[in-house]
Amino acid sequence: MESLVLTIRKHDVAGWLAKLLEGAEVIAPAAGPCGEVVFSRIDSPEQVLWSFENPLSPPKQFVLPQTEPIVKIQLTPQGTEVAPIYDDKRRVLFNVRPCDTKAIAYLTQMFEMEPSDASYLRRAENLTVISLGCTTPCTLGFCVCSDSGPFLTSGYDVQLTDLGEKYLAEIGSEKGQAALSDAMGLFGPATEDEIQQRKTLETEARRCLGEETCHFGSAMRRISTRRVDDALWDKMGNWCLECGGCSFICPTCYCFSVRDRDGDGTWTRCRTWDSCQYASFTMEASGHNPRSQHGERMKRRFFHKVSAQYYLRDGMTGCVGCGRCIQACLGATNMPAVVAAIRKRAWHEL
Amino acid sequence: MNSDVFLPRIARIDAVRDETPDTKTFALRFRTPEDSEAFRFLPGQFVELSVFGYGEAPFCIASSPTRPGAFETTIRRVGMLTYALHQLGLGAEVGIRGPFGNGFDVGGARGKNLLFVAGGIGLPPLRSLIRNVMDERDQFRNVTILYGARTPVDLVYKDELKEWETTEGVELHVTVDAALPGWTGNVGIVPVLFAKTTLRPENTIAYVCGPPIMINFVVQDLLLRGFQEESVISTLERMMQCGIGKCNHCAIGHRYVCRDGPVFNFKQIREMVE
């Protein structure tokens, strides 16, 4: 698709959002009941926040819900009836940061892999992602280390940039184009100067983010060739509290389990989030557990996210550098800390 | 787009046979002829079986694709789902997804000697291939089956073992870890049976399945006796949820037991990095 770059005046954005709200559920960063920032469904354009620290919970729940009904099971006099459950609601994720936008593209790639998963893909097909470039870098992010920010070159439907008086809107897909079509009158073509301004803002944001702080490359070489000592994994495993928080707040983690909910002749088979850090994740009914040691489970998590084997398969690391695990992990076994420990062959001591 | 990856097909229990005090073989027949027709499998593949209300779990297919109609699966009672399954009687309905996994390369085994080494409940996945081989007997050379269980009571397919014992061109040796009164056969772990037979490593494929510790011992033994890593084949077991390589429960490195396996040769198993 030919790249299309438009602008919209800030006071016209409410009009555009009103149009989006007419045709879809709009989810955006908004103030929660106690003033905290959360991704939530909005009812009016004023609720959308434009200057915010990325919420601790990523927007992945709107495309891969924590508990997602996938099959309806009913016992009838004629026998067992089963039917798939799909969610075809149109949704717009508005003002999503580039790291989270790239994470959703990653998730979609995982579920597109054959055999593809319609429960996820039908939701993803009805989802439009409007990304907001980071002109002011966040505190904990290291997106520059995994090519996931502060701006993206692809993976978004629309990418917005705050130019002061206006927003620049880069259209990245047909879905992005469709998201503007009802409000096209509010948009105008971007000038050369405005496009140049967007580039300057990116350069400035990169300067603020500074040097790379999470060196995936050297950690990848060691993890991929079994050159990380088991003793180091064990040590890191000893720090992890097995809360699973890292998996749940990670925008790219997609491990799941399938459970039958409710009872009495009618059940809903649900997909629920799970975490590879739980001992029960690999526990077999016989009691045998191929990853009974905590260090082995740490190794699993970081092999999936950082190994060359997965990098070659997926075209990216399983980390978008959002920095949420730094905030959430009580045991300090977050991504940059583990990557550093692998590089230095030593865990940091307090 | 594959629209129904999570949708089970309904099958009915056609027959139930007690194998051991805690193991039963279920013959399952799909409710509709269309589902029956669509269900084409290879030895070594598995299904996700639903006991509604309890969920799903992976079980290998224990019958041969050369015998269409109902298919069989042999299941030990170890957890909530298998306990509930063991309570079900004839005509009860269960859900089936699959078949999943790669299965054994039956074509590649033609013209070769086949050595089957099984421990305990590890015989069912091999039995699918054994029965397939028996039904196309002239296409394979010597067939040797070595089977061990904890006690004589824990041996599965007791009637079939007797049948194989007397089948021409099939060599069967059985052992138990601990004998019970009346047992006159071999006593000891499975590798003791290697001394009972002539191994021909150069033109033999060895299929090994059983508890992890038994697999380790047997594979090391076979390699020492001159088998190539590529011709020692095992079928792995892991906790699984989806069967399609997405839920990550069965991942070993970047390989998925449900999709890339469960059948791997020992070279592939050794090269798994994690």
Measure CB to CB from residue A303 to each of B242, B249, B274 and give the nearest one. B274
Averaged pLDDT for residues A184-193: 96
**Contact list, A256 vs chain B (CB under 8 Å):** 241-242, 246-248
Total domain count for chain A?
2
Tell me if A349 is assigned to some domain.
no
Instruction: Tell me if A117 and B246 make a contact (CB, 8 A cut-off).
Output: yes
Residue A29 near residue A37 (C-beta atoms within 8 A): yes
Q: Distances in Å between the alpha carbon of A303 and those of A157, A311, B70, B237, B255?
A: 30, 10, 41, 21, 12
Instruction: Tell me if B273 and A121 make a contact (CB, 8 A cut-off).
Output: no
Tell me if A279 is assigned to some domain.
yes
Tell me if A41 is assigned to some domain.
yes
> Are A98 and A202 within one domain?
yes
Phi and psi torsions of B135, nearest 5°: -75, -15
pLDDT at B203 over 60: yes
In the structure, what pLDDT confidence band is assigned to residue B1 with cuts at 50, 70 and 90?
Answer: very low
Distance from CA of A168 to the nearest CA of B (A): 35
Task: Note the pLDDT of residue A58.
Answer: 97
Domains located in chain B, CATH noted: 9-100 (2.40.30.10), 106-235 (3.40.50.80)
Task: Note the pLDDT of residue B159.
Answer: 94
Report how many helices (DSSP H) and strands (DSSP E) chain B contains, helices first: 7, 15
Q: What is the ipTM of this complex?
A: 0.91
Q: How far apart are CA A102 and CA A320, in angstroms?
A: 7
* SS3 state at A108: helix
Burial of A128 (0-12, 13-18, 19+ CB in 10 A): buried
Averaged pLDDT for residues B104-129: 96
Instruction: Tell me if A116 and B273 make a contact (CB, 8 A cut-off).
Output: no
Q: How far apart are CA A132 and CA A140, in angstroms?
A: 17
Q: Where are the beta strands (DSSP E) in chain A?
A: 4-9, 25-31, 37-41, 67-76, 79-84, 91-96, 127-132, 158-162, 166-171, 187-189, 256-261, 266-273
Task: Please write the tens of the pLDDT for every residue from B64-76.
Answer: 999 989 999 999 9
Averaged pLDDT for residues B80-90: 96
pLDDT at B2 over 70: no
* Helical axes A335-344 vs A230-239, angle rounded to 10°: 150
> Are A200 and A220 within one domain?
no
Distance from CA of A257 to the nearest CA of B (A): 6
Tell me if A133 is assigned to some domain.
yes
Task: Please write the tens of the pLDDT for every residue from A54-86.
Answer: 999 999 999 999 999 999 999 999 999 999 999
Q: What element of type H or E holds A110?
A: helix A98-112
- Strands B251-252 and B232-235, how do they pair? unpaired
Q: How far apart are CA B46 and CA B238, in angstroms?
A: 12
- Mutation target among A262, A269, A302 for the B interface, most CBs of B within 10 A: A269
Q: Name the residue among B61, B54, B59 with its Cα closest to residue B81.
A: B54
Interface of B with A (CB under 8 A): 1-8, 10, 31, 52-57, 76, 78-79, 81-82, 93, 95, 211-212, 237-239, 241-242, 244-249, 251-254, 273-274
Distance from CA of B240 to the nearest CA of A (A): 8
> Are A160 and A255 within one domain?
no
Distance from CA of B247 to the nearest CA of A (A): 5
pLDDT at A280 over 80: yes
Report field, pTM of the whole predicted structure over 0.90: yes
Q: How many CB atoms lie within 10 A of CB A190?
A: 22
Distance from CA of A131 to the nearest CA of B (A): 26
The strand pairing partners of B55, in sequence order, are: B51
Q: Find, in chain B, the residue whose alpha carbon is nearest to that of A290.
A: B238
Tell me if A256 is assigned to some domain.
yes
> Are A190 and A248 within one domain?
no
- Strands A256-261 and A266-273, how do they pair? antiparallel
Give the domain range for residue A309: 216-265+275-344
Inter-chain CB pairs, A–B, below 8 Å: 124
Phi and psi torsions of B124, nearest 5°: -50, -50
Averaged pLDDT for residues A159-184: 96
Instruction: Tell me if B248 and A82 make a contact (CB, 8 A cut-off).
Output: no
**Contact list, A110 vs chain B (CB under 8 Å):** 246
> Are A29 and A71 within one domain?
yes
Q: How many CB atoms lie within 10 A of CB B77?
A: 17
Tell me if A270 is assigned to some domain.
no
Q: How far apart are CA A191 and CA A6, in angstroms?
A: 8
Averaged pLDDT for residues B6-10: 96
Q: How far apart are CA B9 and CA B144, in angstroms?
A: 36
- Mutation target among B241, B256, B268, B269 for the A interface, most CBs of A within 10 A: B241
pLDDT at B50 over 50: yes
Task: Please write the tens of the pLDDT for every residue from A32-58.
Answer: 988 899 999 999 999 999 999 999 999
Task: Note the pLDDT of residue B3.
Answer: 61
Measure CB to CB from residue B55 to each of A260, A310, A313 and give the nearest one. A260
> Are A156 and A252 within one domain?
no
Residue B51 near residue B26 (C-beta atoms within 8 A): no
Task: Please write the tens of the pLDDT for every residue from B214-264.
Answer: 999 999 999 999 999 999 999 999 999 999 999 999 999 999 999 999 999
Instruction: Tell me if A117 and B244 make a contact (CB, 8 A cut-off).
Output: yes
Instruction: Tell me if A283 and B6 make a contact (CB, 8 A cut-off).
Output: no
Q: How far apart are CA B257 and CA B236, in angstroms?
A: 7
pLDDT > 90 in chain A, percent = 92
Averaged pLDDT for residues B154-163: 95
Half-sphere exposure of B158 (CA within 13 A, CB side): 12
Q: How far apart are CA A166 and CA A161, in angstroms?
A: 8
- Buried (b) or exposed (e) across A43-61, using 16+ Cβ within 10 A? eebeebbeebbbbebbbbe
Q: How far apart are CA B84 and CA A330, in angstroms?
A: 39
Averaged pLDDT for residues B205-216: 94
> Are A304 and A259 within one domain?
yes
> How is residue A226 annotated by DSSP?
T
Instruction: Tell me if A307 and B246 make a contact (CB, 8 A cut-off).
Output: no
Tell me if A44 is assigned to some domain.
yes
Q: How far apart are CA B185 and CA B270, in angstroms?
A: 34
> Are A9 and A145 within one domain?
yes
Q: Distances in Å between the alpha carbon of A110 and those of A246, A315, B141, B269?
A: 19, 11, 43, 24
Averaged pLDDT for residues A187-204: 96
Query: Residue A55: is the preceding peptide bond cis (ω within 30°)?
Result: no
Q: Give the list of residues 6+ apart from residue A344 with CB closer than 8 angstroms, or none.
A: none
Distance from CA of B2 to the nearest CA of A (A): 6
Task: Note the pLDDT of residue B35.
Answer: 95
- Mutation target among A227, A282, A283 for the B interface, most CBs of B within 10 A: A282
Tell me if A235 is assigned to some domain.
yes
Could you tell me the strand order of the sheet in which B23-30 lies?
A: B55-60, B46-51, B93-100, B9-20, B23-30, B71-76
Measure CB to CB from residue B7 to each of A84, A267, A299 and give the nearest one. A84
| Chosen domain end from A161, A185, A209 | A209
Instruction: Tell me if A84 and B93 make a contact (CB, 8 A cut-off).
Output: no
Task: Note the pLDDT of residue A210.
Answer: 87
* SS3 state at B209: strand
> Are A68 and A140 within one domain?
yes
Q: How many CB atoms lie within 10 A of CB B15?
A: 12
Q: Give the list of residues 6+ apart from residue B17 with CB closer than 8 angstroms, or none.
A: B24, B25
Instruction: Classify residue A164 as left (phi > 0), alpha (psi -120 to 50) or beta.
Output: left
pLDDT at A201 over 90: yes
Average pLDDT over chain A, rounded to whole? 94
Report how many helices (DSSP H) and strands (DSSP E) chain A contains, helices first: 12, 12
Q: How far apart are CA B5 and CA A172, in angstroms?
A: 30
Residue B99 near residue B42 (C-beta atoms within 8 A): yes
Q: How far apart are CA A136 and CA A115, in angstroms?
A: 40
Instruction: Tell me if A254 and B244 make a contact (CB, 8 A cut-off).
Output: no
> Are A225 and A89 within one domain?
no
Residue B83 near residue B21 (C-beta atoms within 8 A): no
**Contact list, B2 vs chain A (CB under 8 Å):** 114-118
Which tokens sit at B59? 């079980």
pLDDT at A1 over 90: no
Distance from CA of B165 to the nearest CA of A (A): 30
> Are A137 and A220 within one domain?
no
Which tokens sit at B78? 């170890």
**Contact list, A313 vs chain B (CB under 8 Å):** 254
- Mutation target among B32, B247, B250, B252 for the A interface, most CBs of A within 10 A: B247
Measure CB to CB from residue B52 to each of A224, A267, A300 and give the nearest one. A267
Task: Please write the tens of the pLDDT for every residue from A207-247.
Answer: 999 888 899 999 999 999 999 999 999 999 999 999 999 99
Average pLDDT over chain B, rounded to whole? 95
pLDDT at B4 over 90: no
Q: How far apart are CA B198 and CA A229, in angstroms?
A: 42
Q: Distances in Å between the alpha carbon of A111 and those of A118, A121, A295, A344, B96?
A: 8, 7, 28, 35, 22
| Chosen domain end from A209, A224, A252 | A209
Task: Please write the tens of the pLDDT for every residue from B178-187.
Answer: 999 999 999 9
> Are A113 and A25 within one domain?
yes
